Amino acid sequence: MFIAHHPFHVHPTGKQVLHPDPQSPFYKDDTSRFLWNALAAATAGSGPGSRGATCDPVKNKCPAGQVCVGWKRGDKDPSLLGTCLNATAHYVPSLSTRITCAHCDDIYGAFAWVETDASDLWAQQHGWPRDPMWCESNWPQGVPFIQLYLLKPYSTRVGVLLAGIGLTVAALAASLAGRRMFEKHLKRS
């Protein structure tokens, strides 16, 4: 069912940022790990059995139904290990349904993300539009969404630049004026 058997780069720099196990913290940046840990701690149950033993993602894994929250690094120092919690927070990669992971059962092996048409029949049966590769998801119209704008308007960027230049010039002028006043004070003494 694969229409292409070649792996492709997901990140523009070629760094492989997707992992076959979406819960693995190894390929997440610090912001993602922080947000995930905060959400997992907030959604963790408070009843008996909601907190488990110490954990890490390699040796001391949590049992099914629990997630490892607060892990920093290593697998021996208790202050750096996480705690198994009954939490509902999970990493959910928002990938196109036309992307699949080949050889994902071998976490330490050579897995690859490849293009597939396996979901096309299902999408047709349920009235979903064909998912283009550049699209982040194939959710239908009417589903709530959020838009992130990484680039501020030109006028804002120019304003910030001019404000920075103005503050730099003002700081330089204040520094020179202070230096002159100090030198005059030294000459009088």
For the chain, what percent of residues have pLDDT higher than 90? 16
Q: Please state the φ and ψ torsions of residue 93, each to the nearest 5 degrees.
A: -70, 130
Q: Note whether residue 174 is domain-resident.
A: yes
pLDDT, tens digit (0-9, with 9 covering 90-100), for 8-67:
434 333 334 555 565 666 666 677 777 777 777 777 766 666 667 888 777 888 887 777
pTM for this predicted structure: 0.37
Q: What domain count does the chain have? A: 2
Q: Note whether residue 138 is domain-resident.
A: no
Residue 174 has a pLDDT of 98
Q: Note whether residue 43 is domain-resident.
A: yes
Domain end, chosen from 85, 109, 127, is at 85
Instruction: Report how far Cα 33 is from the mean position of its chain's Cα atoms.
Output: 7
pLDDT, tens digit (0-9, with 9 covering 90-100), for 62-91:
887 777 888 777 767 777 788 888 776 666
Q: Which domain holds residue 185?
A: 149-189
